[in-house]
């Protein structure tokens, strides 16, 4: 099936606008909810992602940022007594990030706030799962020169 290049470009532009708009809504939602707890959006993101002990590298990956940026955020959370750095059980060179009891309590409050009126809450669980699947497929890189897999 061939499609007019102009129509395809228009459809792609519209889809990109929708994806960007949703991402902005989610970022605004996180920022507003974080502010009610005295956190920045990156601090809230770090707390959200710290469901268990992990290294700085793992946290940075989950936050979609450089390790140096995650370190800056963790330093702030550590000063607030929300996170501790502990020796890694199997890697002497690494530290594990662990929530303190205060950090765990704040994370639970944050998760409840983020869940309330989330832009994604407008979608049923099955729709969220389908959207996630489609986005993962769209973001999967194929080898150079090959069209993306369809299926």
* Parent domain of 65: 9-134
Tell me what pLDDT residue 14 has: 94
With respect to residue 125, please indicate whether it lies within any of the assigned structural domains. Answer: yes
With respect to residue 23, please indicate whether it lies within any of the assigned structural domains. Answer: yes
With respect to residue 149, please indicate whether it lies within any of the assigned structural domains. Answer: no
Tell me what pLDDT residue 151 has: 43
Q: Sign of torsion, CA 47 52 53 56? A: negative
Mean pLDDT for all residues in the chain:
90
With respect to residue 21, please indicate whether it lies within any of the assigned structural domains. Answer: yes
Tell me what pLDDT residue 58 has: 94
For residue 118 the two structure tokens come to: 């989330």
Beta-ladder partners of 54: 97
Over residues 99-147, the pLDDT tens digits come to 999 999 999 999 999 998 899 998 999 999 999 999 999 888 755 555 5
pTM reported for the whole predicted model: 0.81
With respect to residue 22, please indicate whether it lies within any of the assigned structural domains. Answer: yes
With respect to residue 148, please indicate whether it lies within any of the assigned structural domains. Answer: no
Is 90 in contact with 56 (CB distance < 8 Å)? no
| Pairwise CA distance, residues 83 & 101, whole Å | 9
- In percent, how much of the chain has pLDDT > 70? 92
Q: Would you say residue 3 has pLDDT above 80? A: no
Which CATH number characterizes residue 53's domain? 1.10.10.10
Cβ-count burial 106-135 (b if 16+ within 10 Å, e if not): bbeebeebbeeeeeeeeeeeeeeeeeeeee
């Amino acid at each position: 099936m061939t499609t007019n290049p102009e129509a395809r470009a228009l459809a792609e532009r519209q889809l990109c606008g929708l994806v960007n708009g949703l991402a902005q809504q989610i970022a605004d939602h996180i920022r507003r909810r974080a502010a009610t707890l005295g956190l920045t959006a990156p601090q809230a993101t770090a707390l959200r992602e710290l469901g268990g002990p992990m290294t700085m590298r793992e946290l940075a990956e989950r936050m979609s940022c450089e390790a140096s940026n995650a370190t800056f955020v963790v330093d702030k959370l550590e000063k607030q007594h929300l996170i501790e750095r502990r020796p890694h059980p199997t890697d002497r060179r690494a530290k594990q990030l662990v929530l303190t009891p205060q950090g765990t309590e704040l994370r639970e409050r944050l998760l409840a706030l983020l869940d309330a009126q989330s832009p994604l809450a407008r979608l049923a669980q099955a729709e969220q799962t389908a959207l996630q699947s489609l986005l993962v497929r769209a973001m999967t890189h194929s080898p150079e020169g090959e069209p993306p897999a369809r299926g």
